[in-house]
């Protein structure tokens, strides 16, 4: 798809986008803080896989939690950079002068919300790994991660439902 014909607009950030971005940064910052707080208490190995009863069945070095934190930061940085260029996104509908601003704003909000949700899932995973490894809990409550992951799909559905209606 040729994005060179799309209008390039300099859009300011709405209050909602700024608020979501603040929450994104908080979830991003909280992961390394948690890791630093518990690093010395972590055993040499941490659970890497859980069975159906949420008991650990496989182990990995606790540095895996640091890798998850780095992946979280990488995703945050990449999505923050990508959000600056909504005219380059792959839209499934034509972008015109008439609908460009509304489409770009909606896509950027979508990307920011997805970024927050991904950060939340990774933060939950890191916290679960820490609490299981340090024996703060006997097993990880997976009932929390299901709604977090479902939020991602609900967000995608909402975007796919609302964005085409902005073409008018």
Q: What is the pLDDT of residue 152?
A: 87
Report long-range pairs for 127-131 (Cβ below 8 Å, ≥24 apart).
127/34, 129/46, 129/47, 129/64, 129/65, 129/68, 130/34, 130/35, 130/38, 130/42, 130/46, 130/65
The distance of Cα 121 from the centroid of its chain, to the nearest Å, equals: 7
The pLDDT tens digits of the residues spanning 2-45 come to 656 777 888 888 899 899 999 999 999 999 999 999 999 988 87
Predicted TM-score (pTM) above 0.85: no
Around 142, how many Cα atoms within 13 Å sit in the side-chain half-sphere? 9
92-144 pLDDT tens trace: 878 888 888 888 888 899 999 999 999 998 898 888 888 877 877 666 666 77
Q: Domain ranges in the chain?
A: 15-167
């Amino acid at each position: 798809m040729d994005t060179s014909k799309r209008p390039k607009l300099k859009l300011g950030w709405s209050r909602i986008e700024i608020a979501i971005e603040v929450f994104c940064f908080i979830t991003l910052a909280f992961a390394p803080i948690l890791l630093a707080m518990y690093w010395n208490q972590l055993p040499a190995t941490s659970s890497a896989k859980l069975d159906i009863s949420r008991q650990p069945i496989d182990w990995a070095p606790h540095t895996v939690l640091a890798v998850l934190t780095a992946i979280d930061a990488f995703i945050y940085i990449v999505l923050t950079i990508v959000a600056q260029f909504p005219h380059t996104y792959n839209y499934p509908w034509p972008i015109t002068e008439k609908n460009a601003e509304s489409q770009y704003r909606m896509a950027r909000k979508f990307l920011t919300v997805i970024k927050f949700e991904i950060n939340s899932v990774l933060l939950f995973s890191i916290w679960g790994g820490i609490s299981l490894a340090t024996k703060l809990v006997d097993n990880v409550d997976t009932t929390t991660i299901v709604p977090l992951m479902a939020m991602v799909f609900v967000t995608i559905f909402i975007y796919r439902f609302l964005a085409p209606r902005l073409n008018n």
